Amino acid sequence: MGNFAANEGLSIFVILVWLGINVFLFVYFYLAFLIERYYYTRVILGHALSWARAPAACLNFNCMLILLPVCRNLLSFLRGSIQYCSRTAARQLDRNLTFHKLVAYMIAFHTAIHIIAHLFNFERFMDSQLMINSSYLPYVLSQMGNNDNRSYLNPIRTNETNPTIVMFTTIAGLTGVVITLALILIITSSMEVIRRSYFEVFWFTHHLFILFFIGLVLHGVGRIVRGQTLESVKVHNPDECHSQFETWGKNGTNCPEPVFAGNPPMTWKWVVGPMILYVCERLVRFYRSQQKVVITKVVMHPSKTLELQMKKKGFKMEVGQYVFIQCPSISQLEWHPFTLTSAPEEDHLSVHIRIVGDWTQALYTACGGDKTVVMDAWTLPKVAVDGPFGTASEDVFRYEVVMLVGAGIGVTPFASVLKSVWYKHVQENKNVFTKKIYFYWLCPETQAFEWFADLLQSLERQMMEKDISDFLSYNIYLTRWKDAEAAHFRVQYEAEDDPITGLKQKTLYGKPNWDNEFSAIATQHPGSKVGVFLCGPMALATALGKQCISHTESGTEFIFNKENF
Partner 1 sequence: MGKIEWAMWANEQALAAGLIYATGGIVGVAGQFRGWQFAAFGIAAGVFVCLLEYPRSKRGKGTSVERTGQYCFTVCVKAFGPLTRNYYVRAFLHAALCVPGGFMLATVLGCVCLGIASLIYLSAAIHGEHWEPILPRTEPPKRVGNSIKEPPQNPPPRPPPELRRKKADKLEPAAYDNPMSVTINE
Which parts of this chain interact with partner 1 (CB under 8 A)?
A: 112, 115-116, 119-120, 122-123, 126, 162-164, 167, 177, 180-181, 184-185, 187-189, 191, 193-194, 197-201, 204, 357-358, 491, 494-495
Q: Which is nearer to partner 1, 136 or 397 (CB)?
A: 136
Smallest gap, in angstroms, from Cβ of residue 136 to partner 1? 17
- Number of other residues whose CB lies within 10 A of the CB of residue 403: 25
Smallest gap, in angstroms, from Cβ of residue 48 to partner 1? 9
Q: Which is nearer to partner 1, 161 or 379 (CB)?
A: 161
Encoded amino acid at 491, one letter? V
For 493, what's the count of Cα atoms within 13 Å in the CB-facing half-sphere? Answer: 5
Smallest gap, in angstroms, from Cβ of residue 191 to partner 1? 5
Smallest gap, in angstroms, from Cβ of residue 329 to partner 1? 17
Contacts of 320 (CB under 8 A, 6+ apart): 339, 340, 390, 391, 392, 393, 413, 414, 416, 417, 563, 565
Smallest gap, in angstroms, from Cβ of residue 194 to partner 1? 6
Q: Which is nearer to partner 1, 417 or 448 (CB)?
A: 448
E strand spans, 363-423 = 384-389, 401-407
Q: Which is nearer to partner 1, 98 or 197 (CB)?
A: 197
Q: Which is nearer to partner 1, 50 or 151 (CB)?
A: 50
Specify the DSSP element, H or E, that contains 308: strand 305-312
Contacts of 516 (CB under 8 A, 6+ apart): none
> Sign of torsion, CA 37 39 42 43?
negative
The 3-state DSSP class for residue 522 equals helix
Q: Which is nearer to partner 1, 203 or 509 (CB)?
A: 203
Smallest gap, in angstroms, from Cβ of residue 14 to partner 1? 29
Smallest gap, in angstroms, from Cβ of residue 44 to partner 1? 15
Encoded amino acid at 391, one letter? T
Rounded-to-integer distance, Cα 396 and Cα 320, Å: 10
Q: Which is nearer to partner 1, 13 or 198 (CB)?
A: 198
Residue 379, burial from CB neighbour count under 10 angstroms (0-12, 13-18, 19+): exposed
Smallest gap, in angstroms, from Cβ of residue 244 to partner 1? 31
- Number of other residues whose CB lies within 10 A of the CB of residue 347: 8
Q: Which is nearer to partner 1, 92 or 365 (CB)?
A: 365
Smallest gap, in angstroms, from Cβ of residue 166 to partner 1? 8
Rounded-to-integer distance, Cα 368 and Cα 380, Å: 8
Rounded-to-integer distance, Cα 418 and Cα 342, Å: 9
For 214, what's the count of Cα atoms within 13 Å in the CB-facing half-sphere? Answer: 8
Query: For residues 9, 12, 16 and 22, what is the CA-based torsion angle, rounded to 10 degrees?
Result: 140
Q: Which is nearer to partner 1, 120 or 471 (CB)?
A: 120
